[in-house]
């Protein structure tokens, strides 16, 4: 029996379920990635340089051996070269008549090539532009178009292996192409369970697979009409998939989400595995999964984002993955953020407790697969690259971005 003077408010069952689901998300998110406390979390070292000018975007930087850095700013259609202090910008390519260095329809990506040279792609022609250490276009590599190739037009490499072959991320799934040719209507399609990291030989144009990855659980609402079609991805609040990065010596590091260890594809083609990273695994029960998805739907409805008209084509509605699509265990890391530093260590963005200011933490794993460091990245900063002893960060303020450089220690 409750006290007569109690001020306890009895919430409706539906609201109590939403609150419970939010609590589940918060509790699991705080504890699931908890690391056995053998390696303390520390802050990234101090910022030592900041580019005075703002950028439209700076998701790709290319540090050179002498400390200078190339920056691709596609939002403002320019490629710039900065000195070691992130100052004295030199325009490599833009769209102004003053420089006569045409950025064209856009240069995609900025990957290490041979030595201090870099590789970018002309989106209009699909040709590879090789930039030398001074940022000048040294040569252009035109590749024949092959409609049978698993790499689409303008596929962007992340670097090269020891033999000079370009390494590419898994190509996006084209759901419409998977439909039967006779199909017309609406459907909710499930994505593949695995995807491939690919490489391309610049001499023979041959494309092969380096490694297979466990893919994130993806669904897409697809509408096909006689004269075309479109699709819309389903919302998945808990992404769980393998991740990977290409190290400076051409070694591919594949971080496995199932048991949190790294598989290494060495330059000589040999594959090895290193031990599991210690984790306190937290299970997501079926009831938790249902509660989480219910809370996400309720949140979107309260924000006015979930009130789609059923008369709309499926691909125009707000759709969600099934509760069964969520992982059975809270994933140990967030996919899409793994990076390799200049010393050959792998930085993996961890799902673990961090200070409540929005900061994120990275596990730093050496070539023996050992956790050697845990580093907190400042709130509002995104880790986008490394140079010797330094990390490059990007922060956003509305439509502009700021590039800075910090010491790792």
pLDDT digits (tens, 9 = 90+) for 275-303: 999 888 999 999 999 999 999 999 888 88
Q: Report CA Rg, the chain.
A: 24
Looking at the structure of the chain, the number of domains it has is 1
In 10 A of CB 368, how many CB atoms? Answer: 9
Answer for the pair 243, 348: CB distance below 8 angstroms, yes or no.
yes
Residue with tokens 């989106």: 123
In a domain, 8, yes or no: no
Q: How far apart are CA 327 and CA 91, in angstroms?
A: 46
Predicted local distance difference test score (pLDDT) of residue 22: 46
What is the Cα 116 distance to its own chain's centre? 25
Predicted local distance difference test score (pLDDT) of residue 102: 62
Q: How far apart are CA 247 and CA 345, in angstroms?
A: 8
Predicted local distance difference test score (pLDDT) of residue 33: 43
Which residue, 236, 237, 124, 246, is CA-closest to 191?
A: 236
Question: Considering the chain, what percentage of its residues have pLDDT values greater than 70?
Answer: 85
In a domain, 357, yes or no: yes
Predicted local distance difference test score (pLDDT) of residue 30: 45
Predicted local distance difference test score (pLDDT) of residue 225: 85
In a domain, 214, yes or no: yes
Predicted local distance difference test score (pLDDT) of residue 269: 86
Which residue, 368, 322, 311, 328, is CA-closest to 344?
A: 368
In a domain, 216, yes or no: yes
Which residue, 324, 329, 319, is CA-closest to 296?
A: 319
Predicted local distance difference test score (pLDDT) of residue 291: 96
**Residue 351, token pair as written in the block:** 């799902």
In a domain, 168, yes or no: yes
**Residue 90, token pair as written in the block:** 């030199």
Predicted local distance difference test score (pLDDT) of residue 3: 39
The CATH number of the domain where 399 resides is what?
2.120.10.30
In a domain, 271, yes or no: yes
For residue 179, what are the domain limits?
13-407
Q: How far apart are CA 89 and CA 104, in angstroms?
A: 20
For residue 34, what are the contacts with CB-CB under 8 A and spacing of at least 6? Answer: 279, 280, 352, 353
In a domain, 7, yes or no: no
In a domain, 259, yes or no: yes
Return averaged pLDDT per consecutive 10 residues of the chain, 409 residues in all. 36 44 47 58 96 84 93 88 95 66 75 91 85 87 78 85 92 86 88 94 91 94 85 92 96 97 93 94 94 92 71 80 94 95 96 72 96 94 95 91 96
């Amino acid at each position: 029996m409750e006290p007569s003077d109690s001020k306890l408010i009895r919430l409706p069952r539906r609201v109590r379920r939403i609150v419970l689901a939010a609590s589940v998300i918060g509790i699991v998110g705080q504890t699931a990635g908890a690391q056995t406390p053998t390696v303390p979390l520390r802050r990234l070292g101090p910022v030592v340089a900041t580019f005075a000018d703002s950028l439209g975007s700076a998701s790709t930087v290319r540090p050179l051996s002498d400390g200078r850095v190339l920056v691709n700013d596609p939002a403002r259609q320019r490629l710039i070269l900065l000195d070691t202090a992130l100052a004295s910008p030199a325009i490599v390519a833009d769209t102004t008549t003053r420089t006569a260095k045409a950025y064209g329809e856009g240069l995609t990506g900025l990957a290490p090539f041979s030595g201090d040279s870099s590789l970018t792609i002309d989106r209009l022609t699909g040709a590879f532009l090789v930039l030398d250490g001074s940022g000048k276009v040294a040569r252009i590599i035109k590749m024949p178009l092959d409609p049978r190739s698993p790499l689409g037009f303008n596929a962007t490499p992340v670097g090269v292996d020891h033999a000079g072959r370009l390494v590419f991320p898994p190509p996006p799934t084209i759901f419409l192409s998977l439909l039967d040719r006779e199909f017309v209507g609406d459907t909710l399609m499930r994505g593949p369970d695995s995807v491939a990291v690919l490489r391309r030989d610049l001499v023979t144009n041959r494309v092969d697979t380096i490694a297979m990855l466990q893919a994130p659980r993806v669904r897409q609402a697809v509408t096909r009409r006689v004269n075309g079609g479109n699709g819309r991805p389903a919302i998945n609040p808990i992404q769980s998939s393998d991740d990977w990065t290409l190290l400076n010596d051409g070694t591919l590091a594949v971080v496995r989400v199932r048991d949190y260890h790294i598989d290494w594809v060495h330059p000589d083609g040999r594959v090895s595995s290193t031990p599991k990273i210690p984790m306190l695994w937290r299970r997501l029960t079926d009831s938790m999964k249902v509660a989480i998805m219910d809370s996400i739907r309720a949140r979107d409805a309260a924000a006015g984002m979930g009130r789609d008209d059923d008369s709309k084509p499926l691909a125009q509605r707000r759709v969600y993955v099934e509760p069964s699509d969520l992982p059975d265990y809270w994933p140990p890391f967030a996919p899409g953020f793994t990076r390799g530093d200049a010393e050959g260590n792998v930085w993996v963005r961890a799902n673990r407790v961090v200070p409540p200011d929005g900061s994120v933490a990275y596990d730093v794993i050496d070539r023996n697969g050992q956790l050697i460091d845990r580093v907190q990245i400042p709130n509002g900063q995104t880790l986008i690259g490394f140079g010797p002893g330094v990390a490059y960060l990007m922060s956003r303020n509305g439509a502009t971005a700021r590039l800075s450089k910090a010491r790792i220690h």
